[in-house]
Amino acid sequence: MATIFSRIIAGEIPCHKIAENEEFFAFLDINPVAVGHTLVVPKQEVDYIFDIDDDALGRMMAFAKRVAHAQKAAIPCKRIGLTVIGLEVPHAHIHLIPMTKESDIYFGKGKLNPSQEELSEVAEKIRKGYK
Ligand code: AMP
């Protein structure tokens, strides 16, 4: 059965898309730990990120870098933090999180619950800076 992220990539489940190329897809996390929290996923279903082959993992990081620059331009923050967890959704993904202090990237503090309108506005801002 397709993962929830594959269903998002296929357009079966709505998302607030940021960018995509032939191999990767970026969209807002629905329950962000910070405003602008974005997920980068490979279109090919792989559960564990370190099962991705070296070259594809490099390309995934290069794609994430472009998304991070767009986030940085759109969201007031010091830098974009990166983390990999993968305990909830068995489809490899990188969390890209705007942060000003260390706790901004801490998942144990609980998540935000933005409205669809808020997510839509944030996604629009980030998309404008994606090059
Ligand atoms: P983890 O697998 O532990 O790295 O966490 C999966 C992440 O995916 C969590 O931060 C969820 O909020 C996020 N997530 C789950 N379902 C969706 C969805 N339909 N749209 C956007 N983000 C999602």
Q: Please check whether residue 70 is in contact with residue 127, taking contact to mean a CB–CB distance below 8 angstroms.
A: yes
| Interval 14-39 mean pLDDT | 98
Query: What architecture does CATH give domain 4-129?
Result: 2-Layer Sandwich (3.30)
The model's confidence at residue 1, banded by pLDDT at 50, 70 and 90, is confident
**Per-domain boundaries in the chain:** 4-129
- How far apart are the C-alpha atoms of 65 and 90, rounded to whole Å? 23
Q: Please check whether residue 126 is in contact with residue 36, taking contact to mean a CB–CB distance below 8 angstroms.
A: yes
Task: Give pLDDT tens digits for 71-99.
Answer: 999 999 999 999 999 999 999 999 999 99
Q: Kindly report the protein residue whose alpha carbon is nearest to atom 4 of ligand 1.
A: 86
Q: Please check whether residue 38 is in contact with residue 105, taking contact to mean a CB–CB distance below 8 angstroms.
A: no
Cβ neighbour number for residue 19 with a 10 Å cutoff: 18
Q: Is 86 in the pocket of ligand 1 (CB under 6 A)?
A: yes
The model's confidence at residue 55, banded by pLDDT at 50, 70 and 90, is very high
Ligand 1 centroid–CA 88 distance in Å is: 7
Q: Kindly report the protein residue whose alpha carbon is nearest to atom 12 of ligand 1.
A: 31
Residue with tokens 């992220």: 5
- Told to judge if 16 belongs to the known catalytic residues of this protein, a careful annotator would answer no
